[in-house]
Amino acid sequence: ISGSDDLVFTGAENEWLVQYAVQKQAKFPVDYYLFGHRHLALDLPIDPKISGVPEARYLNTGDWINHHTYAVFDGNSLELCRDTEGTTV
């Protein structure tokens, strides 16, 4: 994948890290899968119908340089945020 191809979301079925999380969720359920170093910030549900266990979420913080995105965990929930506005993505 080239850098420019990495900027386009073409569906969860085409995101290899999402597919990895779906496979792991089926065996070792958790609440969140948190990744970085993807040039596109994403917050996606892991469908329980696919994994067969309760819903989890896949979050990728994207890149700080262009999108200024980061994740915040308050002890209960994980949010994907953007720096300049302090808002949830």
- Domain residue ranges of the chain, discontinuous segments joined by +: 5-88
pLDDT bracket for residue 1 (50, 70, 90) = very low
Take residue 27 and report the two structure tokens written for it: 């065996």
Over the stretch 9-62, which tens digit does the pLDDT of each residue have? 878 788 889 999 999 998 888 999 999 877 889 999 987 776 666 789 999 998
Alpha carbon separation from 46 to 19, 43, 62, 89 (Å, rounded): 9, 10, 18, 18
Largest CA distance in the chain: 38
